[in-house]
Amino acid sequence: MKDLKTEAEFREAISSNELSMVVFKTTWCPDCHFIDPFMPDVERKYEGRVAFYHIDRDDLPDLCSELNILGIPSFIAFRNGREVIRFVNKLRKSREEIEQFIDRSIEVANALPDNNG
């Protein structure tokens, strides 16, 4: 999972026609640490279909405010610079819930028109 440290890096990462999954976390969030052990396996499972990025909410508070990130960890899927779908709440997220969300994100993104055509 690539760390995005600036708003410019974020804008560049989400501008791709590829589905970009941005995970918003913080260092002090216990539910964020809960997902750490299994996220590398999740990333491998979706390799070639989803690009994963991480943003520490405390590093980019203005961007997170713009995106209305309230609960963490939050997952937002982007394609061609636009939000596709989000998984944002204040509850702990299980691996199964995260994978279901990623599957749904892929379905929704595939239903959208390509910007390349």
- Domain ranges across the chain: 2-110
Residue 115 has a pLDDT of 56
* 90-98, Cβ contacts within 8 angstroms, sequence gap of 24 or more: 91/31, 92/31, 92/34, 93/31, 93/34, 93/35, 95/35, 95/38, 95/42, 98/35, 98/39, 98/42
64 flagged as catalytic: no
Residue 107 has a pLDDT of 94
Residue 89 has a pLDDT of 74
Residue 92 has a pLDDT of 82
CATH topology of domain 2-110: Glutaredoxin (3.40.30)
Considering only CA atoms, give the Rg of the chain: 13
29 flagged as catalytic: yes
The one-letter amino acid at 52: F
Digit-coded pLDDT (tens) for 28-83? 999 999 999 999 999 999 999 999 999 999 999 999 999 998 889 999 999 999 99
Digit-coded pLDDT (tens) for 85-109? 999 877 789 999 999 999 999 999 9
> Which one is catalytic: 23, 32, 60, 109?
32
Q: Alpha helices, DSSP H only, in the chain?
A: 7-14, 30-35, 39-45, 61-66, 95-111
> Which one is catalytic: 1, 29, 39, 108?
29
In angstroms, how far apart are the furthest CA atoms of the chain?
43
